[in-house]
Structure formats: structure tokens, C-alpha cells
A and B are shown apart, each in its own frame.
Chain A
Amino acid sequence: MIMFNGFSHSVMGASHEKTNLVCQDSSAFKVGDHYAVAVVADGHGSKKHFRSHLGSKFAVEATIEAIDRFYEDREALEANLPTNHKLIIKNIEKQIISNWNMKVEKHLAENPVTDEEKSKFTPEEFEAIPPESYYGSTLVAGITGDNYTFGVQIGDGSFVAIFEDGRAVMPMEYNESAPANVTASVCNSNAASMFSSFYAPNRKLIAMYGSTDGLYTSFGSEHDFLDYHTIITSQLVNLDTFKEIIKNNLTKRSRFGTEDDISLSCIYNENLLKDRIDLINKRVAENKKAAADRKAAMLEKKV
């Protein structure tokens, strides 16, 4: 039987410490029966999104609840995925947005906007902000089953997946016109139509990661970003001891990088990882050599 496991962690950015903002990111993972979910969300944090730290938390909860609901009849879901994955993923996206809006409405009803929150706007400015915008957030969610993986995303953030060949890849294809690459948000009125998604059938996943953009922007190159995930994967066999190192490294990346909040969520297949650990370690060594070769090539003078 496949055994999934995972971890998730969010750190507050130094820039938010300086401005007395709370951490705008949220993250979670869940291991279910023959499936697992990794989710991160990045609250927008700007003036009109003054409750976005809650919006990101609601986005994470809304996603896990939506996925759980679709997996209530897992066999039917998995029987339909190969032929109807576009429709199923679209319905999951709609369910996430619906769940999120319900959470926002409930919270707002129980916690009306305070005078202090309103005081930062003129009455006209405040009236112009749609209430759901107070809670605006991005969302990155990856789901894996026994031999397939899919992901949904709205707004910026990244996926990295490592399949059986041990190579780290970004499964969400970059598309200049995709709404996920602009400042899309779960709070947009047409949010359900602004997702980007991917579906990778017939491939066993070793590990998948979702992260908010604070992690990606702490790297000098995409190669380094991918190599980082391969290194983490090589250490997942000792997750209990390695977890602290990951947390500290995320803190270091935030503090010495772009000072943004950072969230990382991971799900992985414990059995397959143990089986392929030698391959993963080989990839780590290959990546290290390739990085040294790239640096040597970069420093070669052309004139």
C-alpha cells in the first residue's frame, strides 16, 4: 500500500516584521486514503486587502475541504479522471472558490469591519472595495493519487514535482497569457475561471511541493530553485530531524533574501522515495556538478 506523508511550514518575512504586518501566508498538507494534498496561499497584504492573512487561511481550508469532498467516492473520481480530468479539475476549482466565499461571508458577518480598519480609507475609497477583496489571496494546491498528480493555482506561486526519474520539474507550464501569472486572486469576481492547472497521468510521484513566491524569489536561478527541492527530497527519509533544518532554511531565505513571507508544503510517497533514494542522491550530485559547470561557463570572458 502506498504511504503518503508530508510537511508544511510558513515563515513571516522580515519586511512584515518591520511594518508590524502579520504573516500573510498559510500552508497545510493532508494525507488521505490513497491521496494527498499540499496547499499554500499568500495573502496579498496591501492596504485594501487588510484581512488577507485570514483570506489565505480560508483558501487553504477551502481547498482541503473541496478535495476531501471530491474524494468521498475516490473510486468513481479516479475512474473518471483519465477521460474527464479537465471538467473534474474545473469543478474542484469552482468548489474551492465557493468554499472560500462562504468562509469569507461567515467571517465578515461575525466580524464586521471595524472603525479602525475603515480609518485608513476615505468613505468613498472604502465603498469602492468589494468586501471579498479584504481577504484577497493566491492559492497553490497539488494533489496526488497512486499513479497520477494534478495541481491548481491562482495568482503567483510555484509547483515542483519529482516523478520516478528523480528529476525536479515545474509541472505548471508557463504561459504568458495564463491568468495565474498575473495578479489573479481568489477574491476576483471571476476567480473560478482564473485558475491554471496541470494533470500528469500514469506517472508515480516521489514528491511534490507547492510554495509561495517568497521562496522562488529567494533564488538567483531556476536551476538553483529546482536543485533545492531535489536536496529536500533526498532528506525526506529523515523528515523528523530534517524538518527543523527546512524551517530554519526558510527563515534564512526570507531574512537574507527578499524579506517576504515564505510557505512551503510537501507531499511525498514514502515507499517510492525509499526505493529511489539512491537515484535522488545521484541527482543531487549531478546537480551540484552541473551548477559548478554553469558557473565556470558564466565566468568565461567573451572579448
Chain B
Amino acid sequence: MSNEHVTEPEVNETQNVSPLDDFDTAETVSTAPVSDDSILDFDDDPLSATSVSKKSLVIFFLIDTSGSMKGKKMGELNTVMEELIPEIRRVGEADTEVKVAVLTFSTEVRWMYSTPIPIEDFEWARLRASGVTSMGAAFKELNHRMSRNSFLSSPSLSFAPVIFLMTDGYPSDDYKEGLRELQTNSWYKFGLKAALGIGQEANDNILAEFTGSKDTVVHAYSGGQLAQMIKIIAVTSSQIGSKSMTLSDDTNHELGEEDVFAAKQKLLGQQIQELVSTQTDGDDVPFDTGW
């Protein structure tokens, strides 16, 4: 004998819906908004063992750890990155789960952790400098990992990533080949890209090739500037990157994702340039004159 037991497909009762003649209504559950927060808190909910994931934003830091970064540059960078983590943590507090992935490149390319780390768990590992500047290899490695099959495998929805490059010199490998590979990556195409040149040797044109715009390239010539610029870029790009934007044109038609990302990148350039123009040089000693 058939043991039929059918739940009614759930519909909002305010809609004009025909009754389901052929369905036994075993139960009808209201899907009305839940107003009482207390029902969401259980001490005895075994399902709370698996946490709820918000929309995530991964910030990729690509950091030059070649020999020319040795000394004050690397010391300052380590210090400012340690200070920066709590500031980025605040960006993600509301609606976004911010994760950080750090790729260092010198003679070899190496990730600080084997996967992007939620910002609340992230601890900076102090970096040391030596070797040459394998920027092209770093671009290839980033392309390889910036994939649904690798670093971006989380089921939860993702904002396009923030990709922040910091270097003090000219690449020692074929960076153009690496960049060409990276430019085929959709996460790169839609990601927010910014770059910081450190000292006189860094080539802003190469950095602009990476970001796609000179507006998102800044330069630091001293320890004080390095701290300011890293904070400006990291915090501003995280804020813009985790912002849900919808755009409409003059006729009020929705624009596509590409337009949204282009608008975000443009906004990042504008904000970086505005913030940079308000920074003071102070009495800092330049990297290239005696540090």
C-alpha cells in the first residue's frame, strides 16, 4: 500500500496561486521573514559545527623578496604588513569574509600559506630577502592558483579578488610571458589590481602593464611613504573590492559585470590618486640615499 506523504511546494501566501488539488498538504511552512533573532541562537544545534560563510574577498599580495629588498625596505614592509592586518580585518567585519594570500617572489616563488587564510586567522610571517626577481614566474604561479580548482574553490560566492604587487626592481625573468598567461585568467581580468614601486629602480611602466592603468600605480621612496602607500592601497582596494555595486546607464538599464568591474577599477584609481596627493613627504630618508 502506498504511503503517500507530500509536502506542499512552498509558496508565499500573498501570491495568487491555484490550490494544489492533487497534493496532500502534510505541512505548510511560512517563509515569512523571521523577526525574532533569538530563534537563531542554539546552544544545542549540532548543525552549528559547520559555520556559515559570507561572500568572500581574497586579497592577493605579490611581494618582491629579491636581494635588493634586503635591509630597511624589507624591515619596513614586514612591520607595516603586521600593522595592516587588523585594519583589513575591520574592512571585512560586516558582510564580507576577507581572506589573504601572500605570494613571495625572488629566485623562487613561494606562498606564505598553502591556501588563502581568513583574515581573523592570518598571522604575518616575517619575510627575508635574497636572490633575483622572478616576477614572470610569480605571474604564472598566480594564474595557476587563481582558479575554482585551486585557491578560489570555496562554494561561497566571491567578489573579484584584489591583487596587490610590490616590487623594488626590474624583473630578472621574462615577465611579459608570465603576464600574458595571467591576462587570460578571468579572476585577473575582473580583479582589482594595484601596484607599489619601492625606490628608484622600480619601473612604473611595468607596474602599469600589470594593473592596466597608471592611476593604480604608486611609488614609495622612503620608509614612511612605504607604510602610507601600502595602507592606502590595501585598505582602499579591500573596501572597493568588497562593495556590492550595481550600475545603470542613462536609460536605467542594468549594465553587465564587466562594466561593474571596470567601474570599480576606475574608482580605485581615483581614490588612490586622491589619497596619495594628500600624503606629506615628512622628514623621511629616501631608500636610495643611505638606508
Contacts and interface: CB of A to CB of B under 8 A. Distances in A.
Interface of A: 3-12, 14, 17, 22-23, 25-33, 41, 47, 53-54, 56-57, 60-61, 64-65, 107, 110-111, 216-222, 224-225, 227-228, 231-232, 234-235, 245-249, 251-253, 255-258, 263, 288, 291, 297-303
B113 A302 contact: yes
A303 B31 contact: no
A8 B50 CA distance: 20
10 contacts: A10-B31, A22-B14, A219-B52, A219-B154, A225-B155, A231-B50, A299-B117, A301-B112, A303-B104, A303-B125
B2 interface: yes
Interface residues of B, number: 60
Contact of A303 (B4, B40, B110, B157): B110
B50 A27 contact: no
B41 to A, nearest CB: 9
A243 B254 CA distance: 40
A130 to B, nearest CB: 20
A220 B156 contact: yes
A129 B110 CA distance: 51
B127 A303 contact: yes
A17 B52 CA distance: 19
A3 B3 CA distance: 9
B6 A234 contact: no
Contact of B155 (A216, A234, A300): A216
Contact of A302 (B4, B16, B111): B111
B2 A32 contact: yes
Contact of B45 (A29, A216, A245, A263): A245
Contacts of B254: 47
B117 A33 contact: no
A12 B31 contact: yes
Contacts of A216: 155
Nearest to A71: B2
Contact of A53 (B15, B22, B115, B156): B15
A65 B22 contact: yes
The 5 closest A-B pairs by CB, nearest first: A220-B53, A26-B9, A22-B12, A33-B2, A60-B9
- The prevalent SS among residues of B at the interface is loop
B155 A219 contact: yes
B40 A257 contact: no
Interface string B1-24: 111111111111011111010110
B155 A7 contact: no
Contact of A227 (B2, B50, B155): B50
Contacts of B2: 32-33
Contacts of A8: 7
B79 interface: no
A31 to B, nearest CB: 5
A61 B8 CA distance: 9
Contact of B17 (A27, A57, A65): A57
B42 A245 contact: yes
A256 B97 CA distance: 11
A104 B127 CA distance: 62
A154 to B, nearest CB: 17
Contact of A31 (B5, B40, B121, B157): B5
A54 B4 CA distance: 24
A245 B49 CA distance: 13
Contacts of A54: 11, 15, 17
A33 B112 contact: no
Contacts of B4: 30-32
Contacts of B5: 5-6, 29-31
Nearest to A246: B47
A54 to B, nearest CB: 7
Contacts of B54: 256-258
A220 B40 contact: no
Contacts of B14: 22
A57 B11 contact: yes
B90 to A, nearest CB: 19
B3 A31 contact: yes
Contacts of A7: 7
Contact of B6 (A64, A222, A253): A64
B29 A57 contact: no
A11 B29 CA distance: 9
Contacts of B23: 28, 61, 64
Contact of A27 (B7, B18, B45, B51): B7
B290 interface: no
B156 A217 contact: yes
A23 B29 CA distance: 12
A263 B32 CA distance: 14
Nearest to A263: B10
Given A22-B15, A248-B42, A252-B40, A9 B10 contact: yes
